[in-house]
A = this chain, B = another copy of it.
Amino acid sequence: MLRIVYDEAVLRMTEGLLPYLAKEDARHFAGIFAGNSLDGVHSHGMNRYARYLSDMETGLCDARVTRATRVSGFGALEIWDAAGGVGPLIAEQMAQRVIELAREHGIGCCALRNNSHWLRAGRYGLMIADAGLVGLCFTNTCQNLTAWGTKAPSLGNNPFCLALPRAKGSLLMDMAVSQYAYGKLEIMAQEGKMLPQPIGYDLEGNETCDPGKICESGLMMPMAMWKGNALSIMLDLAAMTLSGGRSSLQIGPPSRGETRMSQVYIAVRADIADNLDEVADKTEAMIDFLHSLPPADGVHGVHVPGENLQETRRRNLKEGIPVTEITWQRILEAAERGRRGRNEEET
């Protein structure tokens, strides 16, 4: 594992994006990859960079489109169309827009159709919470999960996030509807670990606790059985209904290329209560209480979602972002291609 200084990471990734994006957009997008890794979300940061470049190269993501266009609106509710453009740039546009809507109306909602992968759901919830509002965002995905009651890949492992403003750093829950991410299963398989419960099927359709076999088959169940199943279906249909975009069924299996997803961004003002000091105190009291509880055997007590974010960010800013060699190698190769392309253009 390497440790890469944040500025260096942004610089190199910007170079690799210049064949596809204008300078300002390239730098911004590079900052999103680096920022997600800086926050410790290694599954949805710099590791996804090479794949995103490839998606822009093949046209699965249309790099010419970096802003969504407004389809319709009614007061605090708006529908936008991303037209297959650059997912995270457009997602940030939506987060900004929904903050404006909520500041004006108390609560706001942007429903977005046809967006490419937004990388990390939590980024947009965090933008909203860091602006002082409560944020709720969700997206659908391709059919990378088996619905409860069948062994066929059929639902999306749809991520959703809920973020709360807090003086000491926003709280953030950012999760998908499976118990583990495929990336996490791959790591467990490499380490020879077994799962505590069967959360997927092997190639023969048998339930298994072997993470490697689930990666092999691509047959992962929803978390919490019928409950994750219900959550996946409803998040998918809610995003489709509100945006008028595609459901997981239209997005299809992963082999078809995950693109043109439906997303929802909601922001709510958290500053209209008559007792804001008490609210802040009650948040801290709950966190302190949870930290005070005796840890169950072999577990490090209770974790409050997002509580370690500031510390992780500080440490990675100081010590460099942890990146695997293969990820960094690909970033450097893309940067080299980007520089070569520019030189050719100039001559």
Q: Quick one: which of B75, B241, B248 contacts A164, CB cutoff 8 A?
A: B241
Q: Quick one: which of B108, B173, B231, B279 contacts A244, CB cutoff 8 A?
A: B279
- Whether A305 pairs with B268 at a CB distance below 8 angstroms is no
Instruction: Tell me the chain A residues, 131-187 only, with Cβ under 8 Å from chain B.
Output: 134, 146-152, 154, 162, 164-165, 171, 173, 175, 179
Q: Which residues of B contact A61 (CB under 8 A)?
A: none
Query: What is the minimal beta-carbon distance from A235 to any residue of chain B, in angstroms?
Result: 8
Q: Which residues of B contact A250 (CB under 8 A)?
A: 282
Instruction: Tell me the chain A residues, 273-295 only, with Cβ under 8 Å from chain B.
Output: 273-276, 278-279, 282-283, 285-286, 289-290, 293-295
Instruction: Tell me the chain A residues, 211-262 only, with Cβ under 8 Å from chain B.
Output: 223-231, 233-238, 240-244, 246-250
In angstroms, Cα B234 to Cα A164, docked, is 8
Interface membership of A343, Cβ < 8 A? no
Q: Quick one: which of B233, B270, B300, B304 contacts A305, CB cutoff 8 A?
A: B233
Interface membership of A106, Cβ < 8 A? yes
**Given known A227-B175, A273-B79, contact A240–B282 (CB-CB < 8 A):** yes
Q: Which residues of B contact A237 (CB under 8 A)?
A: 164, 171, 283, 286
Task: Report, as a range, how many residues of chain A touch the other chain.
Answer: 35 or more
Query: What is the minimal beta-carbon distance from A301 to any residue of chain B, in angstroms?
Result: 5
Instruction: Tell me the chain A residues, 60-80 only, with Cβ under 8 Å from chain B.
Output: 71-79
Interface membership of A269, Cβ < 8 A? yes
In angstroms, Cα B302 to Cα A268, docked, is 34
- Whether B225 pairs with A149 at a CB distance below 8 angstroms is no
In angstroms, Cα B94 to Cα A218, docked, is 43
In angstroms, Cα B75 to Cα A107, docked, is 8
Interface membership of A109, Cβ < 8 A? yes
Chain B residue, CB-CB nearest to A236: B286
Interface membership of A266, Cβ < 8 A? yes
A175, A270, A283, A302 — which one has the most chain B CB atoms within 10 A of its CB?
Answer: A302
A110-150 interface code vs B (CB 8 A; 1 in, 0 out): 00000000000000000000000010000000000011111
Chain B residue, CB-CB nearest to A106: B77
**Given known A179-B224, A233-B286, A241-B270, contact A151–B296 (CB-CB < 8 A):** yes
In angstroms, Cα B346 to Cα A61, docked, is 77
- Whether A302 pairs with B229 at a CB distance below 8 angstroms is yes
- Whether B106 pairs with A75 at a CB distance below 8 angstroms is yes
14 A-B residue pairs with CB within 8 Å:
A71-B273, A75-B107, A77-B272, A150-B290, A150-B295, A150-B296, A164-B238, A175-B227, A197-B197, A223-B224, A226-B303, A234-B305, A241-B279, A242-B273
A interface, CB within 8 angstroms of B: 71-79, 104-109, 134, 146-152, 154, 162, 164-165, 171, 173, 175, 179, 197, 223-231, 233-238, 240-244, 246-250, 266, 268-270, 272-276, 278-279, 282-283, 285-286, 289-290, 293-296, 299-305
